[in-house]
Amino acid sequence: MKKDAENRRRDREPAVARRVTRRVFYGTVGVGGDSPVSIQSMSTFPAAAVEEAGAEIRALSQAGCEIVRVAVRDDQDVMALERICSASPIPVIADIHFDHRLAVSAAGRGVAGLRINPGNIGGEKKVMEVVEAAARAGITLRVGVNAGSLEKELRSLYEKDQPRALCESANRQLGIIERSGFRDLVFSLKSSSAAVTVEANRLFAAGNDYPLHLGVTEAGPPLSGTARSVVALTQLLGAGIGDTIRVSLSGDPVREIIVAAAVLSSLGLRDDFPRVISCPTCGRCHLEVAGMAEKLERILPGRAGKMTVAVMGCEVNGPGEAREADIGIAGAKQGAVIFRNGRIVKKIEKDFFENLISEIDKFSLEEDPE
Ligand code: SF4
């Protein structure tokens, strides 16, 4: 049965040869080296909103997020980090701007990493205090260069050559930090322009072997932001550059995870996420396809491994696609039909989503596709 299911699964795109990078860790999650490209997001709540941030982090983890960043704005946020980290199912990175002392205090409070921005943390001495704190705590430091907050000295270069200015900022920090012997570093070079992000990362990646966190900053509202992110990520990941990614979108961060997982799967860089296919619907549709497919994308990574689920609206293309998937549902005049491994297992007239989930859970338990 397992082999049949495997054969029915669509062929994945070929894997991309990745740039050779050194490996660092956020907790148990490796970034760089031969670790798979990981998915990150950021809570929309500050650390001090422990309950809200905690619930959001659980939802992100359930959708497939592997590393999460939390904003640390003041001492209250620093004090909340231990509770956030101990309740989080995934490693937490403290995101700090402006005040390096917050980064120093955050380092020993359960976080798996720190993220600072050299453009606003306040010069070499302060950066080095953060580096020493990260080294003492045995955690990873991300140096995140952003076009919107470059060091003053680089602004005239930025006017002339944006990618080179971003790369120069990251290289300066690298030079300063490397003198200390600290190597648990991840770099990111972000702009709201996909083209600038791509070129800046290409330039930086050519000169060293530190892992890169990729993303287009301030990418935008969900649809246009997704397009901008996918354009940049596809070019860089397709060239083997990038070790961890964030798709920045306004609104619910769970959407970021769904897009990131689809990008990595489509490029053949990850094949361990469940895949949902669904029809665009038309006047023949008998089912609430869009709602079911969206719900599945949010909850499947938390309850199923590598599998394909098809949600199809009617008897035209429905049975064909549903048969090809591991589990599929196809609308019919009298309700819907559920397929498993190409065979009909249920005809139902109501509770479509609940029945589909119950078949998915049975499939995961009984066939263990991994
Ligand atoms: S499967 Fe049916 S409902 Fe869905 S788009 Fe095709 S014809 Fe329309």
Q: How far is the CA of 280 from the centre of ligand 1 (A)?
A: 7
Q: How far is the CA of 337 from the centre of ligand 1 (A)?
A: 14
- Is position 18 within any domain? no
**Ligand 1 atom closest to Cα of 312?**
1
Last residue of a domain, one of 216, 235, 266: 266
Last residue of a domain, one of 214, 237, 266: 266
- Is position 299 within any domain? yes
- Do both 261 and 281 map to the same domain? no
- Going by the DSSP 8-state scheme, the letter that residue 47 receives in this structure is T
- Do both 98 and 176 map to the same domain? yes
CA distance 329 to 310: 6
- Give yes or no for residue 14 having a pLDDT over 90: no
Residue range of the domain that includes 347 = 2-10+273-367
- Do both 158 and 277 map to the same domain? no
- Give yes or no for residue 150 having a pLDDT over 50: yes
The string of pLDDT tens digits covering residues 191-241 is 999 999 999 999 999 999 999 999 998 777 889 999 999 999 999 999 999
- Is position 315 within any domain? yes
- Give yes or no for residue 370 having a pLDDT over 70: no
Q: Does the beta carbon of 313 lie inside 6 Å of ligand 1? A: yes
**Ligand 1 atom closest to Cα of 285?**
3
Q: pTM higher than 0.85, yes or no? A: yes
Q: How far is the CA of 139 from the centre of ligand 1 (A)?
A: 51
Q: Does the beta carbon of 283 lie inside 6 Å of ligand 1? A: no
Residue-by-residue DSSP string for 306-331: S-EEEEE-STTTHHHHHHHSSEEEEE
CA distance 103 to 89: 22
- Do both 245 and 167 map to the same domain? yes
* Residue 369 pLDDT: 47
Ligand 1 atom 7 nearest Cα: 316
Ligand 1 probe mutation, 281, 292, 339, 352, most atoms within 8 A of CB: 281
Which element (helix H / strand E) includes 277? Answer: strand 275-278
Q: How far is the CA of 310 from the centre of ligand 1 (A)?
A: 12
- Is position 45 within any domain? yes
- Do both 114 and 227 map to the same domain? yes
As for how many domains the chain has, the answer is 2
Residue range 329-340: mean pLDDT, rounded: 95
Residue partners of 324: CB distance under 8 A and separation at least 6: 8, 10, 308, 310, 342
- Is position 19 within any domain? no
- Do both 157 and 290 map to the same domain? no
CATH classification at residue 282:
3.30.413.10
The SS3 assignment for 45 reads strand
- Is position 104 within any domain? yes
Phi/psi of residue 161, nearest 5 degrees: -150, 90
* Residue 2 pLDDT: 46
Q: Does the beta carbon of 290 lie inside 6 Å of ligand 1? A: no
Give the CA count within 13 Å in the CB-facing half-sphere of 122: 13
- Is position 304 within any domain? yes
CA distance 315 to 285: 9
* Residue 336 pLDDT: 97
**Ligand 1 atom closest to Cα of 282?**
8
The SS3 assignment for 199 reads helix
- Do both 63 and 43 map to the same domain? yes
- Give yes or no for residue 4 having a pLDDT over 60: no
Q: To 10 degrees, the CA torsion angle through 207, 187, 31, 36?
A: -70
- Do both 326 and 349 map to the same domain? yes
- Do both 127 and 173 map to the same domain? yes
CATH classification at residue 171:
3.20.20.20
The string of pLDDT tens digits covering residues 88-136 is 999 999 999 999 999 999 999 999 999 999 888 888 999 999 999 999 9
- Do both 46 and 6 map to the same domain? no
Residue range 178-193: mean pLDDT, rounded: 95
The SS3 assignment for 285 reads coil
Find tokens 């530190």 and name the residue: 210
Cα distance between the two ends of the chain: 13
- Do both 262 and 286 map to the same domain? no
- Is position 16 within any domain? no
- Do both 97 and 223 map to the same domain? yes
Q: How far is the CA of 14 from the centre of ligand 1 (A)?
A: 29
Last residue of a domain, one of 232, 266, 300: 266
Q: Which of 235, 201, 194, 237 is nearest to 216 (CA)?
A: 194
Whole-Å CA distances, 232 to 189, 206, 236, 260, 276:
12, 17, 6, 12, 24
- Going by the DSSP 8-state scheme, the letter that residue 1 receives in this structure is -
Ligand 1 atom 6 nearest Cα: 317
